[in-house]
Amino acid sequence: MVEMPIRQLPDMAGDERFGTACQMCVVAPRQRLVLRCARPLARAGGFDLGIAINRFSRNGGLVAARVGPDEFWLFGPLDAPILGEVAAAFAAKPHALVDVSHAQAGVSLGGDRVSEVLNAGCPLDLGLAAFPVQMATRTLLGKAPVLLMREAPEHFLVETARSHIDYVRQFIRLAAREYMAP
């Protein structure tokens, strides 16, 4: 397999604050894997895969998001051997495991109005009752497809294709301005 270097683009550095409404931070480079398996194991490579659809689990620095009956997004530190460990765990089962680290990027969002900021371009109800903590789903933010995960009542992770990250960040900037105190 060809190893693709993961690099942070120059325009992706830094945190941005929009009053108390929203703070946006670029997610540090990390491993991002997509696992497709009709009958997943309960655990593989430190990941808890026995989760309901549209939920995610965290085990230290490892995050597993189940976004379909047979689809998982796995996230972990760059120096962790998760690709090999997950591949070994599924060696006897039909599966597909793809490293998409080079093709994805993410932002972390927090703030007392972060749900409203995201709802400016997301058709889902992101209220806490409808989209609780540990919820994960694919949706749109503006015109960009994203994976949206709620880590805490006022904290979200947004993952998207690297080619869409500038659009997503600019969309959030514009939406957050509406909620800034004058």
Rounded Cα distance between 98 and 109, Å, is 26
Rounded Cα distance between 149 and 46, Å, is 20
Residue 106's DSSP bridge partners are 159
Looking at the domain assignment, is residue 5 inside a domain? no
pLDDT tens digits for range 141-164: 999 999 999 999 999 999 999 999
Query: Are 53 and 67 within 8 A, CB to CB?
Result: yes
Looking at the domain assignment, is residue 2 inside a domain? no
Looking at the domain assignment, is residue 155 inside a domain? yes
pLDDT tens digits for range 98-119: 999 999 999 999 999 999 999 9
The whole-number pLDDT of residue 65 equals 98
Looking at the domain assignment, is residue 152 inside a domain? yes
Looking at the domain assignment, is residue 141 inside a domain? yes
Cα torsion 43, 49, 51, 57 to 10°: value is 90
